[in-house]
Structure 1
C-alpha cells in the first residue's frame, strides 16, 4: 500500500522512514512538509495540493507536533484517506474524539499510535501480570530533552506537553500492562520560569502506583517501570524492551528499533479490515495531571 508522511522532522527521519522502507506492507509514495523531504520520494509543501494530485495514496501518517495535527487529520479523512497519528494523537482529547467519529462515519481507519506499547517486552509483561495481585509500582522516566528534541522550543509551548512528551510513553505502557485501570490522585509539576509546560513531574495514582518524570537527565537515559506483586517483582527496562522477573532477564531485546515497524504492521492490518484503534487512556492521565498538578517554578531552561 502507498503511504504519505506528513511532517518530515526528526522523528519521521529517525523512525518512520526506516520503518516504512523495511516493511513488506508499505511504499513511501509522497511526503508533505514545509521544510523536510526524503531522497527519491515526491515532495509536496501543501496538504491540499497533495490530496488533489495524489488520489492514488490511500493512507497518510502524521508526524508533525500535536498542535496543528487536527486540521491535517480532518482534511485527510474528509478526502477519504486512512490516517495514522504519531503520539500523542492530538493536542486535546475532544479533537481526537471528533476525528474518531469522522473516521467511523466515513468507514475509514484511524490509528492513534503508542510506539512504546510495541516495545519487545510489553506483551510478555502484560501476560505475566494478568493474574497477579499488585502491591505497588513505580515509573522512573528520566531523559535529556536536548538529546531527543534539540532546539525544539515547541515542546515547551502550550500543546507541546513538556516532560509528558516522553512521560506519556511510560503511561502508554502502564495502561497496557496493568490488569486493572488506575486513576491519578495528585501530582507535582515543575515549570521552568521561562517555559509554559513542565520539565519534571511526580505523580501518585490509585493502587500504590507512582511516577517520576524528568527531562534534565544527562548521560545514560533511564526508562524503567517496576511492579511489585505477591508473587515477585517485575521490571521493564530500556523503555519496555527488556523484562526482568525478580532481577532475572526473561524476555525482550535491548533496542527500541522494533517499535515503529510494529506500528506500521498494525496500521496495515487496520486498513485491510477498515477498523480503527483509538485508545486515549495515556492521554487522559496527562490531562488529569495538568488539571490536578500543583505547579512549582524552577530554574529557567535554555537549549
Structure 2
C-alpha cells in the first residue's frame, strides 16, 4: 500500500508501554512502513532517530508524512491538531480523545487539510470479530452480556493518568469491548442506565455496570486479580455465540470455531492506515465513545474504597 515500492515514513509519538509492546513490533514487521522517528520526553527506540520536542520535529522532518499518536488521551488533541495543521496524516490510539467534541474538531480539521485521520480501535481487529459479525447477519440477537474484568496494576502499572479527568478509568479497557459490540451488532443499541464505582481518592471509575436497549449489558472491573476476563456472550434465535480473550477466540454454541490465520491486531491496524493514506480517506467511528459519554451522563455514582498502585 506504500508509495510504489517504498514504504511510508512514520513517526511514533509517545514511547510508553503500548508503543513498545504493540506499535513498534507491528511497524518493524510491515512492508508498508518505515519507523523513521520517535517523539517522546523519555522513551526511545533503538536505531531510530529520537526527538523530545514535537514542534521541532515537525519543522525538522517535513518528509515524514504520517504521525501515530500513542500518548494518553489528555494531551493527544494538541498534538493531533499540530500534526494536521502541518498536513501530516494522523493515526490515533484508542480512545481517540478525551471528549467527542475534541475528535469531531480533529475530523473537521483533517478534512479541511486534505489529510487522513484514523481513529483506531485495536479490539475490532481481533481474530474472531469479523467472523462473529458475519454470523450475526442472519440471526436475531436476543441478548448480549459483556464481562470485561482485568487488573489495572498489571496493564497500567503506576499510570496515574488513567484515574485523572480525561483518562476514563475502567472505561479505557471497557471501550475495547464496546468497540467490538458496535462493530458486530446488526442493529445499534443505546445506553439506558449505568452505575459507576469511583474510588474515594480518584476522579474516574474503577468499575462500571452498563445497561443498553436490546437486552445488552456490560460489567467492567479493574480490580480482577488472577485470570482476566474479556468475554462477549451473545444469545440469538439460532443459538449462542461468544467472543473470548478480547475477541481472539470465537465459540458457537460452546464449541470453538476455526478462524483464518490472523496477523494480529496492531499489524491489521497499520495495514488499514496504509490503505486509508493510499486512498486519501479518513476513518473516524465515534460509536464506542458515545456509549462512554452516555455512561458518564446517565451513570449513578457510587463511592468505593480508595485505590493506590
For residues 149 and 253 of structure 1, what CA distance do their matches in structure 2 show? 31
Q: Does 1:151 align with 2:158?
A: yes
Aligned residue number for residue 44 of structure 1: 51
Report runs of 4+ in structure 1 exceeding 2 Å deviation. Answer: 251-255
Query: Are residues 1:87 and 2:94 paired?
Result: yes
Counterpart Cα distance in 1 of 2:306 and 2:138: 46
Counterpart of 2:104 (choices 85, 97, 104) is: 97
Q: Which of these residues, 255, 264, 275, is aligned with residue 269 of structure 1?
A: 275
- Measure how far apart 1:38 and its partner are: 0.4
The Cα of 1:252 is off from its aligned counterpart by 3.7
1:248 is aligned, of 238, 241, 255, to 255
TM-score (norm 2): 0.96
Alignment partner, residue 31 of structure 1: 38
C-alpha distance in 1 between matches for 2:259 and 2:286: 26
Q: CA deviation at 1:106?
A: 1.3
Cα RMSD (Å): 1.2
Q: Over residues 208-251 of structure 1, what are the superposed CA-to-partner deviations in whole Å (9 max), with x where a residue is unaligned? A: 00000000001111000001001010000010011001011113
Q: TM-score, normalised by structure 1?
A: 0.98
Aligned to 1:170: 177
Quick one: structure 1 residues 86 and 150, their matched pair in 2 at CA, closer, same or farther if it must change by over 3 Å? same
The 1:266–1:136 alpha-carbon spacing in structure 2 relative to 1, beyond 3 Å, is same
1:135 Cα deviation after fit: 1.0
Distance 1:20 1:191 in 2: 37
Matched, 1:179 2:183: no
Q: Matches of 1:214 and 1:226 in 2, distance apart? A: 17
Q: 1:47 to 1:170 in 2, by over 3 A?
A: same
Distance in 2 between residues matched to 1:32 and 1:221, nearest whole Å: 32
Q: Deviations over 1:145-180 (max 9, x none)?
A: 000000000100000000000000000000000000
